[in-house]
Chain A
Amino acid sequence: MRSLQIFIYEWKHFTRSPFKIVALILFIVASMYGLHNGADLYEKQNNEFERLTQETETEIKTTLSYFENGKKGPDERPWVDNTQPFWAIYNAPTYAFKTPSPTIVYAIGQTEQYGFYKRINTWSNPYDADMTQEISNPERIQSGTLDFSFSILFLLPLLLLVLLYNIKGKEEEQGFLPLIFVQTGSKNWWIVSRTAFYTLLLLLVLVGVMVYGATLTNVFKANADSFWSILIYVTIYLLFWVIIYFLILKYSKSTVSNTLLMIGVWLLFAFIIPATIQQWIAIEKPTNLMVDLIDVKRDKTSEINEQSKALINRQMFELYPKLKETKTFKDTTIVRKRGGYSTNALVTIEMKNATKSIEEDNNAKNKLVETTYWINPITFFQNKLNKLTNTHYEDYESYRNAIQKSVDERTKIMVFDIWNDVTVDKEKYLEYNKTFSK
């Protein structure tokens, strides 16, 4: 019997199995629901960016109006003086955005565990309280959003199970398996062909669903390469399960044992192994309560501020050697007067050291996870999809680095302008905004 004939028979079998059809429809519905959840998140984040951008523009206009009206700041806050670099920079609203990739429709990954925008100040830190997740129901976060990756990683193997579970077993139970072997010539080929039919069917469904997802956020326009990479990984993942189930079908003797073995393997990969690894990591490396960061935020900051001016200056010159070239370098009165604002730069260095050790700690956890990938395929594929959709831990690490870079740049400009005794006017204020928004 040729493969084509087996395919035709399998198609007939499939269309006469309401259980399998319902399972396939449910999978498609769940996948599309998941895609829409991803698209909604994409839209929600973009809307938030738009709102914040508008807010920023309004704030800039307000500060500009002070310059235009010859005022230093709002009447009710007489201590605010926008002609000084510190206040002008303070009032130059800047946000760091973690722009979502259109491919977020396929996996929202760790998006909901972090903040996606942050207002930058000279004392900002990537671990500030506003970097936490959006206000949300923790029970929902804990159960996870049904996104497309959930459908792929957890529902696809179950769908495949439903489609394949009675191959060979049913024929064996009804006693006509030897007849089929005689007709097909090869037992393996017959199982391979039937399995291949469902593999192709699922591939077609997956491509269709993914293309539908792509239309929701214009994936092809912005991230066509990522689309193909995701499709390749999804295909590899499908083949991974097809091979496992094929081996079960080949060596198992009845429908019941097929089903039990298939569900057993699924439970092992989906639940037992990842859960055990997560438990092991939680024991090896308990949650970091960020005590180092707290120490820097409070005690180290006080220590720096209480240092002698000479020591502060020495540290400032070590940090920014070119400060010695500033026009007020020798004017100790100005240095003394403005030194207070400049110490932010020294605190930032200490904060950076503290966050560095936190990142190292987190990366050590990630390394531990990665060493288990070979026995933990679902976690491997989940993180691969997260990387391809820019929703992985590392993407948020890069975002934190970008925030730190922005803070560093801002602080540096502020310190040099203070030490150069710059008086800020309308043009200078606009220049600040232009520089920081890059």
Chain B
Amino acid sequence: MFQIIKNEWRFLLRSRIFLGISIGFIAILIVSVFLGNYQTQKQDQTQTNAKEHVRQQWVSIDEMNPHSAAHYGTYVFKPANLLSSLDEGVNSVTGNVLRVEGHVQNEIVHSEASQMQVVSRFGKLKSSLLLQYIVPLLLIFLAFNSVSSEKQSGRLKLLILQGAKPIQLILSKTFSVWLYGLLLLLFVIVVYGILNLQSLTSEILFRTGLFFLSYALYYFIISGLTVFFSARWQNATLALTSMLGIWILWTIFLPNVLMSSVEKWHQLPSRNEFQTAMDEDRSKGLDGHNPTDERTKALEEKVLKEYKVDSLSQLPINFDGLLMQADEDYGNKVWDKHFGNNRNVLQEQKQSFQLGGIVNPFISLQNTSMGFMASDNVHHQEFLLQVENYRRVFIKMLNDEHAFGGSKTGNWGKNADNAFFRSVPDFDYKPTQLSVVFSNYMLDLALLAFWSVLVFALILFGTKKIEIL
């Protein structure tokens, strides 16, 4: 079998068209990796500048009332991710700026897509665009007449007379085409690695390894299926058109239809409905029987009892700070409930979409590609969660300062000094570790593996009775 693969490659390398296309395509791949990297670095610089600017404003506050500072708030800018230079995922459609302030959890705003007219329906020239859409087509073009041309020329009969088994021939042809895909893939990874040598970590290497694995499986599916059709169908044109039909269905048609459908099956609330429900829960209580007034009264009684005093004015602390923090804590519960519901719906949508991988392995590839490159919705949600956790710490520090900073209840004029504002930590984004979210991609990987086994079985059993002539 190794000899057949070697021969196949010898034939391929003799073809000037093949070499020309390969060189041209490798050049485009290098450009895509380079541009992707350059754009990420530039965006990262913009993000760093904005982050430093906003932080500088915060630490420059000479003195301000802590509650005014909670309204002044701060901003978190979604960091550019080096991995996303290979697959941008959802980054261009999600917002980039999130206002962090008291009383309210804001939405992330100012997406890249909203800042200009439509250009590309399939995103930027990232490596993933070429690896997902173009490389499979190249593999189809390489494989569609691999067996049929041997049949037509009579070479297949000759090879079998020489002792080669049909199955060995077909598998060898599959592997030689697959190898071409793997080389292109490897090329992308190596160039990416060289460009980011200083930033490589075990996490990035692990993620890139899984990225490689999922593409490798998908390329095997495409190569195997095309060679199978080439062996089964009577002529090369039929094999080519069948595979092109499958390619169109898998990559253009089905993902779009399925994604639109899952959003209908598992519906998210409209923003207005969502906001109204949140406001209602916050004012009436999560159970509808614990309104704000009663909660306030209960807290007041509890604090007075704790400090063994009769009225708020006798308290050595500022009750307003405690009250605001209690309201925040309650608001956080409300947020957890409603955003939790939304996250569940998004999770259901994701799972339904992933099941689409049963009929379309391209869906599994898309999921793993952006998942392993940390640019899918799962990672976006993790980022939003980190910001919300930061907001809670940030606001609690301000409320605590208001409560225990030396002022009495009703005093809104007491300011915190610059040292306090400097002590409030800045948002420090911790990139989500793959181990935390890996379970989200197990189904995709399993489906890609299932498809690979299916195609292998198809070649193994489906080509037993192929016509040699």
Q: Which residues of A contact B (CB under 8 A)?
A: 19, 23, 26, 30, 33, 37, 40, 44, 48, 51-52, 76, 109-110, 113-115, 117, 127, 129-146, 150, 153-155, 158, 162, 165-166, 169-170, 173, 255-256, 259-260, 263, 267, 270-272, 274-283, 286-291, 294, 298-299, 302, 361-362, 365-366, 369, 376, 378-379, 382-383, 386, 392-394, 396
A276-B125, A279-B32, A282-B124 given; 12 more Cβ-contact pairs under 8 Å: A52-B272, A110-B114, A139-B353, A140-B259, A170-B237, A256-B240, A259-B240, A287-B111, A289-B50, A291-B50, A369-B116, A392-B117
Considering residues A144, A165, A378, which has the most beta carbons from chain B within 10 angstroms of its beta carbon? A144
Please state if A145 and B109 are interface contacts (CB–CB under 8 Å): no
B47 within 8 A of A: yes
Contact assessment for A393 and B252 in the assembled complex, using a CB-CB cutoff below 8 Å: no
The 8 lowest CB-CB distance pairs between A and B, nearest first, are A274-B120, A138-B90, A365-B116, A275-B125, A146-B256, A393-B117, A279-B124, A278-B119
Question: Across the interface, which residues of A come within 8 angstroms of B125, CB to CB?
Answer: 272, 275-276, 278-279
> In the complex the two chains form, is B257's CB within 8 Å of A30's CB?
yes
Tell me the residues in window 92-138 of chain B with beta carbons closer than 8 Å to chain A beta carbons: 92-97, 99, 106-126, 129, 133-134, 137
Q: What are some 9 contacts across the A-B interface (CB < 8 A)?
A: A33-B260, A131-B109, A139-B350, A154-B121, A256-B145, A279-B32, A287-B96, A287-B115, A294-B54
Q: Which residues of B contact A (CB under 8 A)?
A: 28, 32, 35-36, 38-39, 42-43, 46-47, 49-50, 53-54, 57, 72-73, 75, 77, 89-90, 92-97, 99, 106-126, 129, 133-134, 137, 141, 144-145, 236-237, 240-241, 244-245, 248, 252-253, 255-257, 259-260, 262-264, 268-272, 274, 293, 342, 346, 349-350, 353, 366, 370, 376-377, 380
- Assess A277 versus B42: contact at CB under 8 Å? Given A165-B241, A256-B237: no
Q: What residue of chain A has the Cβ atom nearest to residue B264's Cβ?
A: A40
A275 to B110, Cβ gap below 8 A?
no
Question: Are A383 and B89 in contact (CB-based, < 8 A)?
Answer: no
Distance A51 CA – B270 CA, assembled complex (angstroms): 11
Q: How many pairs, one residue from A and one from B, have CB atoms within 8 Å of each other in the complex?
A: 240
**Other-chain residue from A135, A170, A289 in contact with B97 (beta carbon distance below 8 A):** A289
Q: Which of B117, B120, B342 contacts A386 (CB 8 A)?
A: B117
By the criterion CB–CB under 8 Å, are A260 and B141 in contact?
A: yes
* CB closest chain-A residue, reference B28: A272
Q: Are B116 and A142 in contact (CB under 8 A)?
A: no
Please give, as numbers and ranges, the residues of chain B lying within 8 Å of A130 by CB-CB distance: 107, 271
Check A166 against B118 for contact (C-beta < 8 Å).
Answer: no
CA distance A317 to B449 in the complex (A): 73
Contact partner of B245 (CB less than 8 A), chosen from A19, A280, A393, is A19
A173 to B115, CA, bound (A): 51
In the complex, what distance in Å separates the CA atom of A76 from the CA atom of B42?
51
- Which residues of chain A come closer than 8 Å to B93, judged between CB atoms? 113, 138, 141-142
Nearest-Cβ distance from residue B343 to partner chain A, whole angstroms: 11
A290 CB to nearest chain B CB (Å): 5
A264–chain B nearest beta-carbon distance, Å: 9
A277 to B121, CA, bound (A): 12
Contacts of A143 in B (CB 8 A): 255-256, 259, 366
Q: Which residues of B contact A133 (CB under 8 A)?
A: 111, 114
Closest to A258 in B: B237
